[in-house]
């Protein structure tokens, strides 16, 4: 997976001083890199009968939709507040540089649906933990969370006890 790491641009002091941002747009712009990324994220779940992939705004939309296509299932967006047109459920969370909230439609997945959450980075785990709460709140059967990048030093996995967490790249 070194060829994937080589395609990720590191941007210091974004979105604020002291944060090192892992910019995956350079990886997504590379046809082989994008294909290999989607394949690596989807591979553990082939044949697992996943009903829906949930992608977290915004890079999780790109990766999650592609993984859903690879798995032959539906895609569900989790968005920032006020962006979805129908009734929603909401979860707030903290992250390494502030606090925020996420929403999803309250009928986005049917009760008991097997769900895979996909996002680009697992950092402190706040966003992932909020997404997991939303899926469970509406009755989804959360099977796993899959990330392109996991920043081990930030211990985001610790906020997801009991969850199956898969990461393609470790930093």
Q: For residue range 106-153, what is the model confidence (pLDDT) as tens digits?
A: 999 999 999 999 999 999 999 999 999 999 999 999 999 999 999 999
| Per-residue model confidence (pLDDT) at position 99 | 85
Marked catalytic residue, from 96, 114, 133, 157: 96
163 is catalytic: no
List the chain domain ranges. Answer: 48-170
Distance CA 77, CA 63 (A): 11
Q: Which CATH class is domain 48-170?
A: alpha beta
- Provide the whole-model pTM: 0.95
Verify cis geometry, omega within 30 degrees of 0, for the bond prior to 15: yes
**What percentage of residues in the chain have a pLDDT greater than 70?**
98
pLDDT at 96: 61
| Per-residue pLDDT tens digits for 85-96 | 999 999 998 766
Task: Give the per-residue pLDDT at 44.
Answer: 98
Catalytic residue status for 59: yes
Indicate which residue of 9, 32, 57, 59 is catalytic.
59
pLDDT band at 97 (very low <50, low <70, confident <90, very high): low
Q: Between these two residues, 98 and 62, which has the higher pLDDT value? A: 62
């Amino acid at each position: 997976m070194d060829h994937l790491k080589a395609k990720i641009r590191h941007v210091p002091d974004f979105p604020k001083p002291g944060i090192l941002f892992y910019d995956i747009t350079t990886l997504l712009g590379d046809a082989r890199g994008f294909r290999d990324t989607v394949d690596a994220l989807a591979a553990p779940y082939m044949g697992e009968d996943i009903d829906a992939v949930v992608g977290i705004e915004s890079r999780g939309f790109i990766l999650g939709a592609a993984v859903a296509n690879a798995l032959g299932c539906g895609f569900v967006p989790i968005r920032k507040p006020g962006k979805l047109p129908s009734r929603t459920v909401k979860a707030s969370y903290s992250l390494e540089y502030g606090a925020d909230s996420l929403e999803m439609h309250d009928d986005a997945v049917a009760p008991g649906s097997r769900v895979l959450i996909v996002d680009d980075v697992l950092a402190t785990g706040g966003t992932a933990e909020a997404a997991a709460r939303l899926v469970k709140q509406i009755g989804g059967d959360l099977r796993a969370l899959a990330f392109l990048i996991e920043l081990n030093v930030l211990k985001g996995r610790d906020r997801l006890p009991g969850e199956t967490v898969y990461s393609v790249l470790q930093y």
